[in-house]
Amino acid sequence: MTSQVSSPAGERPSGEKEVRRLDRVIIRFAGDSGDGMQLTGDRFTSETASFGNDLSTLPNFPAEIRAPAGTLPGVSSFQLHFADHDILTPGDAPNVLVAMNPAALKANVGDLPRGAELIINTDEFTKRAMAKVGYDADPLADGSLDGYSVHPVPLTTLTVEALKSYDLSRKDAGRSKNMFALGLLSWMYHRPTESTEQFLRTKFAKKPTLAEANVAAFRAGWNFGETTEDFAVSYEVAPATSAFPPGTYRNISGNLALSYGLIAASQQADLPLFLGSYPITPASDVLHELSKHKNFGIRTFQAEDEVAGIGAALGAAFGGALGVTTTSGPGVALKSEAIGLAVSLELPLLVIDVQRGGPSTGLPTKTEQADLLQAMYGRNGEAPVPIVAPSTPADCFTAALDAARIALTYRTPVFLLSDGYLANGSEPWRIPEVHELPDLRVQFAQGPNHTLDDGTEVFWPYKRDPQTLARPWAVPGTPGLEHRIGGIEKQDGSGNISYDPANHEFMVRTRQAKVDGVAVPDVEVDDPGSGDDGPAKVLVLGWGSTYGPITAAVRRIRREGQHRIAQAHLRYVNPFPANLGEVLARYDKVVVPEMNLGQLASLLRAKYLVDAQSYTQVRGLPFKAEQLADVLKETLTHG
């Protein structure tokens, strides 16, 4: 394939310095939560995306908006993995750590492999700041960092110096040190810089002095790298030309992809989108994003609470809108009763759960997959709900369309289970053409659908489509179809209140059959087949956001010559793909890595009587590929 990547003609370091080629790099920016590390990481990511590398990011920040300065709990970091080939995870261990203060060093140095590069803002390494995080001696001087390639840089001083011609206080000037660091790293890795300068000028459009000061700090950082002796080497990571199929790409985070997926679903269904939501981390970005696009006819309603959010979405769905509610685990708990009502009313509704660490308030800004059983079973009565789980940040786009397809076709609430890792992480996304998107248009009921014994033509709200078992969607305003629906058990067909035992049995089983019958594609198995080693004996099966780490681990194992491992990943957790039972039965062992205590494994064991082995982690962070690879190798070797 003769691929080419159009990259902006960025500045190239020009001096005598050595340039080394790398196939991939993992950088972590770490500082106080007020140091602007997320912004710095975002900008570096943008530069990297537009350069054409494959990339994956992992923002990691505390729940407190401004945790006490200089403390370990206040450390905010942003990790970026970029490469000249396709990659799957934000990387296990950083090759480069930018530490803006002692807390950032202390909190992150343990993740660094020996030999990693450390760029340290020495200005913040005061006795007091070091003592605050328990450094008895200066780590820059006591030899504890000997195994690393340390670059002590007085970032604050250099920034203030660079900005002295601006009318800024020392404190204000010092705040641009993150842009200085960004400039330095941009030099080190030959990143294009125009987009960042443009970004800064737009961001501070109303404060031109700040805009120019930040640009100046950014340039000063770049020039510092170019001129100082301390940085003798810069690095090139070539664009990932062969990693991407032809197309136009952009970098996208999970929450943005999800928002766009919802907008696309609304457009493709030709139904106005109504979002009822209550702010909650890490889902609020979807509310923010959708609120920006009212010109698509999108109504966003910030409700008084989680219950009102879903109630309003359900009311809008009754009126013929594409009803959506977005939340995280604690919000799902509050919405459970309304989800049950939606199951009973059989109206389309999207329930987006961007999962975070639990139980209770748990870890608001960290990731986890522990809401699976809540989504599956967390309601009174038999209340089945289909579940769709995106596997990567960009995949949130298609998952939203998919969830909408199921909701609209089957007239049911549908769960979409994203998580904090997908929500905030980002990766390149091939921008789809609108004509490639599925047609989601629906037909509202227009007239009577039933003839009574006496010949009267009537509308029966619970007379089902024989194929999908979906009931008609008759929206208010349609003459002659006036009907009443509710949470009380309904008589099959007429929808009138019914307490009849046989009818209840029938309705419960029918609602279950409808969800069981939701059309989902077969799960694909990546099985290298019977090579020299014989057929694969072990299947590793995941769902949702563990796709990247699991795939990376499997690749690692295979690269080492061990091919007897197959991989499959579930996008549809309810209902399971029809071939799943057969797939599971093919393997001697099934390993299920999850960021919970084995929730999918429980479902698999219950349904398929398979001895699924759980491998679980609940650290608020995604799996590391190496760690998963070790576990899988152990299984391959010892069973």
Partner 1 sequence: MAEQVMGPVTHEGRSPLSLVPKAESKQTMKDFKSDQEVRWCPGCGDYAVLAAVQGFMPDLGLAKENIVFVSGIGCSSRFPYYLNTYGMHSIHGRAPTIATGLAAARRDLSVWVVTGDGDALSIGGNHLIHTLRRNVNLKILLFNNRIYGLTKGQYSPTSEAGKITKSTPMGSLEAPFNPVSLALGAEASFVARTVDSDRKHLTSVLRAAADHPGTALVEIYQNCNIFNDGAFEVLKDKEQAQEAVIRLEHGEPIRFGLPYLEEDGGDGLGAKGVVRDQATGDLRIVDVTEHGTHGILVHDAHAASPITAFALSRLADADTLHHTPIGVLRSVQRPIYEQGMADQLEKAVEQQGKGDLAALLAGRDTWTVVG
**Token digits for 460?**
């029966």
Residue with tokens 């990297």: 48
Six token digits for residue 220:
């000063």
Rounded least distance, CB 228 to partner 1, Å: 30
Residue written as token pair 């810089």: 193
> Which residues, numbered 294-313, are part of the site for partner 1 (CB under 8 A)?
294-299, 301, 303-305, 307-313
| Nearer CB in complex with partner 1: 452/609 | 452
Q: Which of 252, 183, 256 is nearest to 213 (CA)?
A: 183
* Secondary structure of residue 88 in the 3-state scheme: coil
Pick out residues in 444-483 that bind partner 1 (CB under 8 A): 476-483
Q: Which residues contact 498 (CB under 8 A, 6 or more apart)?
A: 489, 490, 491, 492, 504
Q: Are 310 and 261 in contact (CB under 8 A)?
A: no
Q: How far is the CB of 2 from partner 1 (least distance, A)?
A: 8
In this structure, are strands 24-32 and 75-83 parallel, antiparallel, or unpaired?
antiparallel
Residues 592-621 binding partner 1 (CB under 8 A) are none
- Give the residue among 88, 403, 369, 396 at the shortest CA–CA distance from 252: 396
Q: Are 518 and 406 within 8 A, CB to CB?
A: yes
Could you tell me if residue 205 is left (phi over 0), alpha (psi between -120 and 50 degrees) or otherwise beta? alpha
Q: How many CB atoms lie within 10 A of CB 528?
A: 16
Q: What are phi and psi of 59, to 5 degrees?
A: -75, 145
Q: Could you give the string, one character per residue 195-234, with x where binding to partner 1 holds by CB under 8 A and - elsewhere?
A: x---------------------------------------
Burial (Cβ within 10 Å: 0-12, 13-18, ≥19) of residue 627: middle
Going from the C-alpha of 226 to that of each of 121, 122, 213, the distances in angstroms are 18, 20, 20
CB 186 → partner 1: shortest distance, Å? 15
Q: Is 561 exposed, middle or buried (0-12, 13-18, 19+ CB in 10 A)?
A: exposed
Site for partner 1 in 134-193 (CB under 8 A): none
Q: What is the DSSP string of 489-553?
A: -B-TBT--B---HHHHHHHHHHHHHHHHT---PPPPEE---SBTTBS--EEEEEEGGGHHHHHHH
Binding span for partner 1 by CB under 8 A among 132-140, 244-252, 516-524, 579-587: 244-252
Q: Report the distance separating Cα 76 and Cα 61, nearest Å.
A: 4
Residue span 338-377 as binding mask against partner 1, x where in contact by CB under 8 A, dash where not: x-xx---x--------------------------------
List the x/- string, 261-280, binding to partner 1 by CB under 8 A: --xx--x----x-x-x----
d(CA 85, CA 244): 9
Number of residues that bind partner 1 (CB under 8 A): 80
Sketch the per residue contact string, 533 through 572, with partner 1: x for CB under 8 A, - otherwise: ----------------------------------------
Contact with partner 1 (CB under 8 A): which of 244, 448, 468, 516?
244
Show the CA angle centred on residue 551, arms to residues 549 and 552, nearest 5°. 60
In the complex with partner 1, the residue whose CB is nearer, 210 or 317, is: 317
By CB under 8 A, residue 423 contacts partner 1: no
Window contacting partner 1 (CB under 8 A); options: 108-116, 171-179, 335-343, 363-371:
335-343
Binder of partner 1 out of 52, 74, 364, 390 (CB under 8 A): 52
* Least distance in angstroms from the C-beta of 253 to partner 1: 12
Does an H or E element contain 60, and which? strand 54-60
SS3 377: helix
Q: How far is the CB of 376 from partner 1 (least distance, A)?
A: 21
Exposed, middle or buried: residue 74 (CB in 10 Å: 0-12, 13-18, 19+)? buried
**Candidates 9-17, 130-138, 293-301, 543-551; binding stretch for partner 1 (CB under 8 A):** 293-301
Crossing angle for the helix pair 254-269 and 395-410, nearest 10 degrees? 40
Residue 9 Cβ vs partner 1, minimum distance, rounded to whole Å:
13
CA gap 415, 375 in Å, rounded: 7
Q: How many residues does the chain have?
A: 639
Q: CB of 411: closest distance to partner 1 in angstroms?
A: 15
Judged by CB under 8 A, which of 99, 103, 316, 595 binds partner 1?
Answer: 316
Pick out residues in 5-44 that bind partner 1 (CB under 8 A): 5-7
**Closer Cβ to partner 1, 397 or 543, answer by number:** 397
Task: Select 274 or 615, whichever has its Cβ closest to partner 1.
Answer: 274
Site stretch for partner 1 (CB under 8 A), options 17-25, 125-133, 429-437, 606-614: 429-437
Alpha helices of 141-227 — where are they, by DSSP H?
Answer: 155-162, 170-174, 177-188, 194-203, 208-227
Instruction: Compute φ and ψ for 33, nearest 5 degrees.
Output: -65, -15
Among 36, 70, 323, 393, binds partner 1 (CB under 8 A): 323
- For residue 245, the minimal CB distance to partner 1 (Å) is 7
Q: Which of residues 479-508 bind partner 1 (CB under 8 A)?
A: 479-488, 496-497
Binding letters toward partner 1, positions 245-264, x by CB under 8 A: xxxxxxx--------x--xx
Q: Shortest gap between Cβ of 497 and partner 1 (angstroms)?
A: 7
CB nearer to partner 1: pick between 19 and 488:
488
Six token digits for residue 167: 């009318």
Output 150 or 437, the one with its CB closest to partner 1: 437
Q: Report the 3 state secondary structure along 285-297.
A: HHHHHHHCCHHHC
CB of 315: closest distance to partner 1 in angstroms?
A: 3
Shortest distance (Å) from residue 213 CB to partner 1: 23
- The residue among 9 and 65 lying less far from partner 1, judged by its C-beta, is 9
Closer CB to partner 1, residue 274 or residue 462? 274
Q: How far is the CB of 319 from partner 1 (least distance, A)?
A: 4
Min dist. Cβ of residue 470 to partner 1 (A): 18
Given the rule CB under 8 A, which of 320-328, 381-389, 462-470, 512-520 is the region that contacts partner 1? 320-328
Distance CA 254, CA 396 (A): 6
Smallest gap, in angstroms, from Cβ of residue 574 to partner 1?
A: 23
Closest approach of partner 1 to the CB of residue 334, in Å: 11
Question: What's the maximum distance between 2 C-alpha atoms anywhere in the chain?
Answer: 96
